[in-house]
Amino acid sequence: MQVNESRVIAADPATVWKVGGDTANVADWIPALESSYQRGDVRYTTFAGGGGEAVERIVEHDDRKRRYVYDYVSGPLALESYRSVFAVVDHPDGARITWDAEFRCASAEEDIALAQSISEIYRAALDELENRLVHDRL
């Protein structure tokens, strides 16, 4: 199953990457997360509202390309596999943020439900990132 979310925001791509590409501090702009920290290439996140802790591995982080890739290692979701890519690219109106996930659950029904949840989490996070980088500056 795949989830693809993107957003163009009126902000400098380097500024967007400075916040969005900081893999240790994603809880600062992802509303679904209560906290996050990182040790080496392993990121630990705690979901808000008692949703549990997830462990993710940053498998690629490229500041020049403004892109990183991470895998879900363990946590509250029963996933067989999960890989996500977060990237910031130049756009005539500022920056285009893309956030893509490819994952597999034990059943197709779980895939569909999780895809909807992931899309909602990504969209809310992109809203928050845009608010912080564009609207809060006004």
The pLDDT tens digits along the chain (138 residues) read 999 999 999 999 999 999 999 999 999 999 999 999 999 999 999 999 999 999 999 999 999 999 999 999 999 887 899 999 999 999 999 999 999 999 999 888 888 989 999 999 999 999 999 999 987 654
Which are the contacts of 107, defined by CB distance < 8 A and separation ≥ 6?
none
Supply φ then ψ for residue 104, to 5 degrees: -145, 130
Residue 4 tokens read as 């693809």
Do 71 and 83 touch, CB atoms closer than 8 A? yes
**pLDDT computed for residue 136 by the predictor:** 67
Q: Contact at 8 Å (CB) between 46 and 60?
A: no
Identify the structural domains of the chain with CATH numbers, from first to last. 2-137 (3.30.530.20)
| 3 state SS of 43 | strand
pLDDT for 138 equals 43
Q: What is the pTM of this model?
A: 0.94
